[in-house]
Amino acid sequence: MGQNPHTMRAITASTLGGPEVLRPAEVQRPEPGLTEILVRVHAAGVNPADYKARSTGGFGPWGDPRILGFDVSGTVEAVGPGVSIVRPGDEVFGMPDFPAQAGGYAQFVTAPARRFVPKPSNLSHTEAAALPLAGLTAWQCLMETVRLQSGERVLIHGAAGGVGHLAVQIAKAHGAYVIGTASADKHALARSLGADELIDYRTTDFTQAVADIDAVFDTVGRGYATRSLQVLREGGRVVTLAAAQDPAEMADARARGFSFDFNAVEPDRVGLGAVAALAAEGRLRPVIDTVFPLDDASKAHAYGESGAATGKIVLSVVQ
């Protein structure tokens, strides 16, 4: 398998279900169209959005075959008509699409050229593959939705998680005072990334531990966003990744002078360039928990859903 120049190795999901539905297959290799590039994937990031897409279909739409994976880092193999910003051989990373099928769990992927940016030379492909979706999520929520400013107090729920540990670094890089919630065993990691204060959510009610917060970034859900309104200063802002918010509660918060938003990540070359710049400067680096071979994507999903990982899980595509 893998010798035919018109096919490639990929992980497909022929049906919805648990990690076991992810299986290696030989599929048609894509070709770049107008404004698109073909990327030889070196590594692909694994995200909770992948688990949701595998088990429920996520937000779709999905192609046939259904290939998961929103994060990739690799080398430009070919460029389609109209592409002038990259050349074959360039090392790039990016989020080919979201929430539609992006196809990162494969040897090759195609997407518009401007969904990618140059890979920082100080990052490996494994590290770069861990950044696009989670890094863009943190950037868009902190810098564009709540517009975090230097000197402000920000509360990050899930400060040691896949998105949260990047959010801590982005907030610190922009001069914020960072307070995070995380289990006690992850406090050392969050502190090493720049968190100024940490709250063990298992033993402490954060609403009783902090006050006068300028902005809250909720990566957890489970009612954290609404409860966070209690710790805001006048005019404070909350952004959450949990789509299931009560519209009436959000409207009431806004009527009381707070900002309360749900944010879904979008492919964005400008934001990804900002994330890449922070990484190139050494101010942003993903924590990698485990790297699995591409063919072990089902094991990667099972491990990720177990909740045992600290940081990011990545699939290695080019050995």
pLDDT band at 319 (very low <50, low <70, confident <90, very high): low
**For 248-275, what is the mean pLDDT?**
95
Q: What is the rounded CA–CA span in Å between residue 58 and residue 130?
A: 20
Q: What is the rounded CA–CA span in Å between residue 220 and residue 131?
A: 19
pLDDT tens-digit map of 62-102 = 888 999 999 999 999 999 999 999 999 999 999 999 999 99
Q: What is the pLDDT of residue 61?
A: 79
Question: Quick one: tokens of 191?
Answer: 């502190």
Q: Quick check: 2 pLDDT over 60?
A: no
Q: Answer whether 187's CB lies under 8 Å from 210's CB.
A: no
Q: Quick check: 111 pLDDT over 50?
A: yes
Residue ranges with strand state E in 146-220: 153-157, 177-182, 197-200, 213-218
pLDDT tens-digit map of 151-205 = 999 999 999 999 999 999 999 999 999 999 999 999 999 999 999 999 999 999 9
What is the pLDDT of the chain when averaged over all its residues?
A: 96
Q: Which domains does the chain have, with CATH numbers?
A: 7-131+286-316 (3.90.180.10), 134-262 (3.40.50.720)
pLDDT band at 318 (very low <50, low <70, confident <90, very high): confident
Q: What is the rounded CA–CA span in Å between residue 176 and residue 178?
A: 6
Residue count of the chain = 319
Upper half-sphere CA count for residue 85 (Cβ side, 13 Å): 12
Q: Quick check: 1 pLDDT over 50?
A: no
